[in-house]
Amino acid sequence: MKDHFIERIRNREAIIGIIGLGYVGLPLAREFLKKNFTILGFDVDNSKIEKLHKGESYIRHIDEQFLDEYIIKKKKFSATSDFSRLHEVDAIIICVPTPLDEHYNPDLSFVLNSTSIIAENLKKGHLVVLESTTYPGTTDEEMLPILEKSGLKVGEDFFLGFSPEREDPGNKNFDTGKIPKVVSSITPNGLEVMKELYSTIVTVVPVSSTRVAEASKILENTYRAINIALVNELKMVFDRMDIDIWEVIRAADTKPFGFQAFYPGPGLGGHCIPIDPFYLTWKAKEYDLHTHFIELAGEINNSMPYYVIEKTGRALNSLGKIMKGAKILVVGVAYKPDVDDMRESPALKIIDLLLKEEAIVEYYDPYIPSLPKTRKYDLILNSIELEKIEDNRYDAAVIVTNHSNIDYPVLLKKACVVIDTRNALNQEGLHSDKIRKA
């Protein structure tokens, strides 16, 4: 079975199924298409499927010309919401969300529902791979029993593995095909198949077990979350001491060893860093352990939107104004610069807090024309057109996301005071008595 699968990979006869055509699944499909594989994508969102079949991209960094070439012209990529077609593919790669619930417990419903559907359509020779970030033990403890309910046995009838996604949307230096890929499997033969498949698109890093692979992704993002929390806490300390945290970081970053620069902000966003560490926190309790560093980092990072609100209130006070009834512009609602992804963006929490303070809130983001309903928020707002707004319309503007295509000199004209959480104005070389750092 292993040799037959590897031969199909080498001959580009293996058909790859990808469940979840979002910010992880679609870039992954692109890399396999570049290597002449045939892709069948699965998603529950029919609007995505309709757009793909027209060659239209709903993710900014996925080029429509590329989709047109492989979907319309070469017909190497198709998408469907009919999961019974899973029997048509050789490999099934799961790229679905793994959010937290309102109590910061892992929500594996998307993974487990996908696994159950796969079990209903599992056939001999299938390779099943989970890429969604999760706690150590998910692949062997949660997925494997569901798949073996089909009557098929791992290692004998099908392969099962885990390879954590390492997407960084908008990163111009490292796209999917340039980031080494950790691969793992439940069985040795499965690992050989995993290595063969993924090595066609990227450098692979095989590890001894799915638990090691799962833990590696948790470590990557916990490392970032803790270091960001450190500089966020130092930002608040140095603010009281009238010391510029950004200048401090620049100075420290000149050390050629033993230091890596992390930068403060208004809170954490994205599909990884605010979420993944808490998967380990939850799992650790099973072993009577408390992850103190993770929980403290989460507490600090989650407090940053409140800090931004406090700084905004002080800025308004300096003008003799109060928050209630103040006209406030939130600048940037994507979770990071130059992407159209707003998952877990701290801007949503900041807008929600401002509205609770009875401020009049508008937002500007050139990449997100309207705010969709999310698991936590139902904010019905559309992006304003910055150039059409009269000068000094807003009592305050809060820069949450520093997109590179924002006209910051124009922004300064639109508000009486600008609260800059990203040091964006200083980086642009702009200086004004309107600017307040946060």
Element (H, E) at 82: none
Query: 51 and 153 in one domain?
Result: yes
Q: What is the pTM of this model?
A: 0.93
Q: Which distant-in-sequence residues (6+ apart) come within 8 Å of 17 by Cβ?
A: 39, 40, 41, 42, 86, 88, 89, 91, 92, 93
Q: How confident is the model at residue 265 (pLDDT cuts 50, 70, 90)?
A: very high
pLDDT at residue 170 greater than cutoff 80? no
Torsion 309-395-231-221 (CA) sign: positive
Q: What are phi and psi of 302, to 5 degrees?
A: -70, -20
| Alpha-carbon span 278 to 146, nearest angstrom | 24
Is residue 120 in some structural domain?
Answer: yes
Instruction: Identify whether 95 is a catalytic site residue.
Output: no
281-310 core/surface letters (b: 16 or more CB in 10 A; e: else): bbbeeeeeeebeebeebbebbbebbebbbe
251-272 core/surface letters (b: 16 or more CB in 10 A; e: else): eeeeeeeeeeebebbbbbbbbb
Is residue 219 in some structural domain?
Answer: no
The residue whose two tokens read 């899973």 is 86
Is residue 121 in some structural domain?
Answer: yes
DSSP 416: S
Query: 98 and 16 in one domain?
Result: yes
- pLDDT value at residue 330: 98
Query: 68 and 195 in one domain?
Result: yes
Is residue 61 in some structural domain?
Answer: yes
| Alpha-carbon span 327 to 351, nearest angstrom | 12
Q: 340 and 371 in contact (C-beta within 8 Å)?
A: no
Query: 120 and 15 in one domain?
Result: yes
Segment 392-412, tens digit of pLDDT: 999 999 999 999 999 999 999
Query: 190 and 275 in one domain?
Result: no
Is residue 248 in some structural domain?
Answer: yes
316-339 core/surface letters (b: 16 or more CB in 10 A; e: else): beeeebebeebbbbbbbbbbbbbb
Query: 254 and 152 in one domain?
Result: no
3-class DSSP assignment, residue 392: coil
Segment 131-140, tens digit of pLDDT: 999 999 999 9
pLDDT at residue 172 greater than cutoff 90? no
Segment 117-134, tens digit of pLDDT: 999 999 999 999 999 999
Is residue 326 in some structural domain?
Answer: yes
Cα end-to-end distance, the chain, whole Å: 59
Q: 361 and 331 in contact (C-beta within 8 Å)?
A: no
| Alpha-carbon span 386 to 393, nearest angstrom | 11
Segment 268-327, tens digit of pLDDT: 999 889 999 999 999 999 999 999 999 999 999 999 999 999 999 999 999 999 999 999
Query: 204 and 276 in one domain?
Result: no
Q: How far is CA 30 from CA 34, 43, 157, 251, 358, in A?
A: 6, 16, 29, 40, 45
- pLDDT value at residue 374: 87
Q: Provide the pairing of β-strand 159-162 with 181-185.
A: antiparallel
| Alpha-carbon span 313 to 64, nearest angstrom | 44
Alpha-helix residue ranges (DSSP H) falling in 266-381: 276-284, 292-318, 346-356
Mean pLDDT of the chain: 96
- pLDDT value at residue 373: 86
Segment 211-240, tens digit of pLDDT: 999 999 999 999 999 999 999 999 999 999
- pLDDT value at residue 60: 87
* Catalytic one of 86, 108, 245, 272: 272
Percentage helix, strand, coil for the chain under 3-state DSSP, each rounded to 5: 40, 15, 45
Query: 58 and 204 in one domain?
Result: yes
Is residue 222 in some structural domain?
Answer: no
Is residue 312 in some structural domain?
Answer: yes
Segment 175-219, tens digit of pLDDT: 888 999 999 999 999 999 999 999 999 999 999 999 999 999 999
Number of domains in the chain: 3
C-beta atoms surrounding 138 within 10 Å? 25
43-78 core/surface letters (b: 16 or more CB in 10 A; e: else): beeeebbebbeebebebebbeeeebeebbeeeebbe
Query: 279 and 139 in one domain?
Result: no
Query: 403 and 345 in one domain?
Result: yes
Q: How many helices (H) and strands (E) does the chain have?
A: 14, 13
**Percent of the chain's residues with pLDDT above 90:** 93
For residue 353, the number of C-alpha atoms closer than 13 Å in the C-beta half-sphere is 20
pLDDT at residue 169 greater than cutoff 90? no
CA dihedral 113, 92, 339, 299 (to 10 degrees): 50
Query: 421 and 325 in one domain?
Result: yes
Q: How confident is the model at residue 371 (pLDDT cuts 50, 70, 90)?
A: very high
CATH number at residue 289: 3.40.50.720
Query: 307 and 207 in one domain?
Result: no
Give Cα 257 distance to the centre of its chain: 29
Give me the domain span that covers residue 363: 265-437
* Count, residues in the chain: 438
